[in-house]
Structure 1
């Protein structure tokens, strides 16, 4: 299920507009969304990390845009496809900007994930190879291949479900003849793991361009 917030005020917002009522009504009447509890909203920190960047990117258009946060929960492949189809019309609208929040591999015993391909050398090299394998699949804009990658390697990508929704939305638009491509622009790890006591989180940034 996808959640939409019930709060209507966030401090230090880059805009004074928060979920246009007409859009809220459109999403709600689909029956595919739930109202986010205040506790869940307060616990979710992803948007807090994105808002400063949004504020900077949109500073010349302050108050000329609205923000529509959507929390994506654990979804089946069929649900990712269903939500992708629903949201594809909004993705097709050039006046909309989608921001998909995710990090990549959480590696280490504290994350209960220690996949290691010895052929890659150091552990951090194995992590990078694993992540970039997934990133390459995302760049292909193929939701089925991405799902198969996750099933095979179980990479601890927190935003795997919103990524899946995006890839399915793109698939719907490609059926209509829309041309688009995705490229990753940067990749980093919080630290370089060299032994089993180490841990790290990977981060990546990419952009989908619709032509």
Structure 2
């Protein structure tokens, strides 16, 4: 048996984007999240929720979209939450774990599953490393999920202390790495005590993102963007990992969480696609682009459930 690696844990990851990307006032933030959750049509989950896909922009842009996914979570069924988010600021060929023992939010403290992380670093050192505090706190894709998690798990007494959280930054993985690490993620997905949170926005359109497309048949730009996004969303719902990879290669769509999504799809394929259902429950754009001077980012939420007639575990 491999000897456990030595991890230099830090005490806390601060809520570095509070006060800018979302409110740092607990009452304001809690009321905002409650209003979004209460006013969205809650997806009907007739089977066990195993994962969600949620956007990670500032809450004024994507918070209401994220509510469609978070409203589907039954906190009583979850013991560990694993957040997988893309890296926006550093190049990373594999995945990196946060080494903070605690994750601060305006709505409460989330506790890292340090033993889970240690075991992962020991068993899969070729795929997982650690990130330093500066890198951790600079990245928003994971942090933007934390206030929602603190809000929904904190509503029940002692739930925040009962549930542990793991933060995984997913780098610019090769297709072979996606398949290899997807096999590891399959182990997490197969454990019914876990909830996976896949953090991703969809198309980033406009000159400031260095990505534009050509419209066809007189469609508006925003219609073209939605058509492009929904092509990818259909492949995700079909659990088609290789098709999603080909789609990204062909269209170059700027889905920033493409690698975390790919890990989810390869994990599902490893366990058996028939064992899971994937359904997008909300889609919107930050603005409706009509000219080449415009720009927008797309947001989507999805729920991933186990098929009750053929569950993975």
* TM-score using structure 1 length: 0.94
Q: Given the alignment of the two structures, is residue 39 of structure 1 paired with residue 134 of structure 2, yes or no?
A: yes
Relative to structure 1, the CA distance from residue 16 to residue 54 in structure 2 (aligned partners, 3 Å threshold; closer, same or farther) is closer
Name the stretch that deviates more: 36-45 or 159-168. 36-45
Distance 2:185 2:108 in 1: 24
Alpha carbon RMSD of aligned pairs, Å? 1.4
The correspondence for 1:54, drawn from 139, 149, 153, is 149
Distance 1:16 1:135 in 2: 31
What is residue 103 of structure 2 aligned with on the other side?
10
What is residue 164 of structure 1 aligned with on the other side?
262
Q: Given the alignment of the two structures, is residue 132 of structure 1 paired with residue 238 of structure 2, yes or no?
A: no
Q: How many residues align?
A: 208
Describe the SS at the equivalent of 2:102. Answer: coil
Distance 2:229 2:212 in 1: 13
Q: Which has the higher helix share?
A: 1
Larger relative contact order (Cα-Cα within 8 Å, sequence gap ≥ 6): 2
Distance 1:28 1:162 in 2: 18
Q: Report how far residue 62 of structure 1 moved.
A: 2.3
What is residue 201 of structure 2 aligned with on the other side?
103
User: Is residue 14–residue 51 contact of structure 1 (8 Å, CA) maintained in 2?
Assistant: no
Alignment map for 1:40-119 (pairs within 5 Å): 40-59=135-154, 60=156, 61-119=159-217
Q: Report how far residue 198 of structure 1 moved.
A: 0.2
Relative to structure 1, the CA distance from residue 37 to residue 62 in structure 2 (aligned partners, 3 Å threshold; closer, same or farther) is closer
* TM-score using structure 2 length: 0.64
Q: Which has the higher strand share?
A: 2
Q: Which runs of 5+ in 1 are unaligned?
A: none
